[in-house]
Structure 1
Amino acid sequence: MSGCSTIHLTLPQWDGGSRKIRFIYLVNLTSFRLTDCPNESQAVPLYLGADLFSNTDIRTENHPRHHAKFAKKGLATKINFASAFRFHGLKVPTVNNSLWFYSVQGLFRVAFEMYSKQEQLAVLENFQDVWKSQINDSPLKMSYNLSVQLDFAPSSGSCGADSRNEMPQPQRELVDVNSGDTSADHDYCSFPKQRLQTEQNQIITTVRQKLHSLDDKLSSETQSYTELEMILMLLENIDRYINGNLEEKDVTETVLALLKAKDWGCVYSSSLLSCIGRWLGQQFHAANSSISQKVEGFKVHHIERISDLPPAEELATELFPEAMQTLLLHWMGLSEESTLEKRHSEYPILLLILEFANHNLITGVAHVLYSSLICK
């Protein structure tokens, strides 16, 4: 059985910002192409499973099991390529030169099960026409053995010969042979350095285009003084960030200005407040161990006077982060302008909340209430 030279292929790619999906066109049971061809309406676009599953909660080693699950539903297939085909950016052993691919229906199923809402929207906007055109496709077989690539040399931009009757290259039919390549399976979650460099250059180009666009908009002189102040503040912080001297106070001022820039909607449905609340909760939870150490030290120091503790305000200030107190004080309507008497009367409640939220009981009231709560 005769062999053939290695053919290096680069899969076409859909670029959706943070997500990039490579694909091929399945023409028949043994043939595929990398370019679309309107004359071959039976060609079925198939999307690389490794790209569909990248940046999801599914660990790489668990991908095959999930691919097989979708394959049983006819939404995915394992394609075995002739060993002479080698794919740029995909390192697979020639003894098992196979990759998992999904139909457009499978792509939608994965997207709506595993992607964020923004990514789902991107898939919906970009692939709905493909889904409509392939709506009557039969379910995929569990596997295909492809040995023929039907792409032609790009002479005229058409699928066949052009108007000058130029002859296309003949189709490439390959014998499945083992070339002795024993390379390990490709790590689908990492990309070659060249690709990372390319993506970095693309981002730099985009940033420059944005800056030029801002320059054009500023030239129109339609911005208000307040808007210009905000723009200047953001640009100054970008400059500090690039130069490595961005400080916490700079971020504080900028974030506060952005939060006050407009009314961000109802408290019951504000994604901004939900995001801030989640971040604050994570930061406060991370501080729990240091708070516990401080509380234990306080208890040892005050073991002789446990029934004669300092006032609630002093306890809260000594044992809990200032940010926690600030959040609760303003939440309870006790701003800096509140009367001293009002703050003193409410601080025992604030201290109790801090004790419960941090799982560190200090006062007798907290111990009694906690005991009664867990008994119920």
Structure 2
Amino acid sequence: MSDITYLTLPTWTVGSLNIRLIYLVNKTTFRLSESPNKDSAVPLYLGADLLSNTDIRTENHPRCHAKFAKKGLATKLHFPSVYRFHGIRLPSSNNSLWFYSVQGLFRIAFEMFNKHDQLSVLERFQDIWKSHLDDDPLQMGYDLSEQSDSASIDPGPRTETPESFKESQTPQDTRGDSTDHDYCSSENPAEEEEEESGAAASLRHKVQRLSDGLPQIRPEQLRTVHVLLDFIDRFARGDVTDAAAAEAVMALLHAKRRDGDGVYSSSLLGGVGRWLGRQFHEANGSISQKVEGFKEQHIERISDLPPPEELSRQLFPDAMLGLLLHWMGLSEDWSAAKRNSEYPILLLILEFANHNLITGVAHVLYSSLICK
């Protein structure tokens, strides 16, 4: 087994923060010191340091990093197992760290830092931001295999900070190994990061298997596959709409129906029904407020209420009306007169189901049922 090489990330003190960084030379090479030639190497800043003084809980850091990575402002650097970092404990199975570009650093600062730290960031990094204004967005991750400034590494227990950064550091910058970021704890994000990495690999495998199996997919199945893949793409880009989600669910329901799964044995339909029931139950509070406001407005003419169809649409969510109308067989194909003739019983069902009695008929029937 190769000897372990310990690296010390250079640190800049900015306001109340100590921010460690690294230089990305290309897609596979990094270094710890700035080149005297001021080449195109991209400075990247340790995500754990940027979020250390924010309100984001440590276990939620990976989600935050991933959100900014989708925008090209953060990336996960994967290091060879031979490297270890002073002040950072990582599990050997997941030797990777999240870093942000200078643009990502500014986004974090102005969204999450206090005003004094924002000013410090602005003063300290504005020249760097200007010089890297035209950098390409970061990839989601880089597999690094080579370090280009080998003079700054140390196979022993400790290394010195590169000379080019000593002027940027204060005595407080020299941190102890045991009190710094610990990614090996069960309460730390390392395990979640490892799970996310494993999930990504599993997803790639499934997509590849789907691609290999395309010739065997029946033509009637292709539309469902297309709808679901489109939804996954939207979800990954954070662009999910109610309409897209509804289309995906309907595609699954229709596919199950074509496969002969009846209404009494469909676990998918049962799951949708339970979810819909919970959503309607959670809406009860807002419905009750509407009903109380309606009663106050009509207290003087309680015997002269609007027609049932108007009452139903005014007081109850459209989704409830749509469910019951189609359940009763009254789709949009029916005439308005036929649909309106069924609204009194539909209104009564809605009053009972939501425990909000409005009409006189509902009060009389409810009292009768309670007595029995």
User: TM-score, normalization: structure 2?
Assistant: 0.48
Greater relative contact order, per chain length (Cα 8 Å cut-off, separation 6+) = 2
User: TM-score, normalization: structure 1?
Assistant: 0.47
